[in-house]
Amino acid sequence: MSSATYLAKERAVAIEAVERASKVCQSVFKRLVAEETLTKNDKSPVTVADFGAQAVVNSILEKHFPQDPIVGEEDSKDLQGDQGRALREKVVELVNTATQAPMSTNEVLRAIDRGQYAGGPKGRHWTLDPIDGTKGFLRGEQFAVCLALIIDGKVRLGVLGCPNLPYEMDKPEGERGVLMVAVEGQGAFQRRLSADSSESETPIRVADVADTKDAVFCESVESGHTSHGDNANIAKLLNITKPSVRMDSQCKYAAIARGDANIMLRLPSSSTYVEKIWDHGAGNIIISEAGGRVGDINGNPLDFSAGRTLRANDGGVIAASAKIFDAVIQAVQTTLAQKSE
């Protein structure tokens, strides 16, 4: 599958879709977050951006691949009727700043609702998280637009748009905006998110870390998806003493893929929570093509063939540089076993 022509059109279209959706999100932040005073629990700007980004991506995919279904996070029910009018009008206005041809209200709603496919093990479908990392988005920190193509139950293509991620991690105040892309068998690459299509892509690889004592965790800013206490115990078992890199969203996958960090832990937050495929599809293939490994708490590869969730897996998601992956899994299992005693 290493031929440069394999999924070449899909790759180009996915990049265009993620770039436009990223611009939509940045526009919302500038207009509705930075310029307005928000109450602590006001998530309306991220809601507008979520719907707008999903409409933009889905409309671009429909134009080029009208037969491909989409597994998306959002549907349009909150935009319907008189109750949804104000939000609906904001979304439609936003979408029309990013499309080549104007879209009517009905076209925008229909585009959003193209994301209701059930997924499964056969054929082609896309999976989209229009804004992964909503709290990071509202803080003006890390969030990502995440798009992946699944064929016969396996992720074959992934694109991450990370508008606020430094292009060089050792220059945090420098240029921001990173686009990462990977196709099965072709490696992983990054370029500037704001670049024109003529800019060359740079190959990326996970760091060549052979001993966990030299590794760096990449953790969420907040502990909603995993326990920082468990992470601390795992770090102790692995002799990790370096400070963690903290960020929200699938940007964590991006950080590991290019060697800014080495381990991501997303341990089960409850016995009933099941991971969604859109939260991991793009990041999974980017890490894999960059030379890393991704699996559940038992080290099994993530199974994207079971519908809209990763219910076929044993819970949690672990990503790491390949040489230390097995050691990380062993420390995870030891920690979880101690908790259950």
Residues with catalytic function? 50, 134
**What is the DSSP track for 162-195?**
EEEEESSTT-TTS-EEEEEEEETTS-EEEEETT-
Rounded Cα–Cα distance for residues 250 and 129 (Å): 10
From the list 13, 46, 16, 17, the residue with the least C-alpha distance to 31 is: 46
Helix (H) / strand (E) containing 237: helix 228-237
* Contact call for residues 7 and 183 (beta carbons, < 8 A): yes
Q: Helix or strand or coil: residue 66?
A: coil
Rounded Cα–Cα distance for residues 294 and 305 (Å): 16
Q: How does strand 202-204 pair with strand 217-219?
A: unpaired
**What is the DSSP track for 27-64?**
HHIIIIITTS---TT--HHHHHHHHHHHHHHHHHHHHH
Question: Residues near 96 by Cβ (< 8 Å), separated by ≥ 6?
Answer: 102, 103
Rounded Cα–Cα distance for residues 48 and 92 (Å): 9
Token pair, residue 268, equals 């089960």
